[in-house]
Amino acid sequence: MNDITYSILLSIMPIAELRGGIPYALANGITPLTAYLICTAANVLAFPIVYLFFGVFHDLFNKMQWYRRLFEKLVIRTRKKVETNLNKWGFWGLMVFVMIPLPVTGAYTGSFAAWIFGIEKKKAFLAVTLGVLISGVIVTAIFLSGAEFLSFLLKSV
């Protein structure tokens, strides 16, 4: 597999998302614009993945006790992280939650939260997509700034 494929896979993975895909792409010589475009496009796929899974498989898996326990833990954790923002800010709160490139924020948690809270699918998709696009800019800028700073330090030594 090539570096673009790995970047896409990292961007689709719930743990890594853009925080993994974009730095990997940039560190392996992919141009910033290409890295941004492929990784954000891949990360936006989290929304239909979450909605497809919960729309199709949730009722089936919910019959299994291990799944119900896991699902309840995920719901409790997600509600704690997202509920205040969603209740207060709605669409914008969801977008901001997704755009912050920190662990346990991002497209998967935002999509799951939108599903839990029953946010209209079109609005939720738009909020998650905008959040991913802004997060991609943030991650790219942080990586490029850090790389530039590291290059400056190495030249000074």
Tokens standing for residue 79? 């509600």
Amino acid identity, position 28: N
DSSP codes, 1-20: --HHHHHHHHHHSTTTHHHH
Q: Residue 71: exposed, middle, or buried by beta-carbon count in 10 A (0-12, 13-18, 19+)?
A: middle
Torsions phi, psi for 89 (to 5 deg): -115, -10
Return the structure tokens found at 35: 């890295």
The C-alpha angle with vertex 77 and arms to 45 and 22, in degrees rounded to 5, equals 35
Structure tokens at 80: 């704690």
State residue 86's pLDDT score.
84
* Residue 6: per-residue pLDDT: 97
Closest CA to 46 of 131, 117, 103: 131
Tens-of-pLDDT digits for all 157 residues of the chain? 799 999 999 999 999 999 999 999 999 999 999 999 999 999 999 999 999 999 889 989 999 999 999 999 988 888 888 888 788 898 999 999 999 999 889 999 999 999 999 999 999 999 999 999 999 999 999 999 987 776 766 776 6
Q: Domain-by-domain residue ranges, the chain?
A: 45-156
Global pTM value: 0.88
Rounded CA-CA distance 35/28 in Å is 10
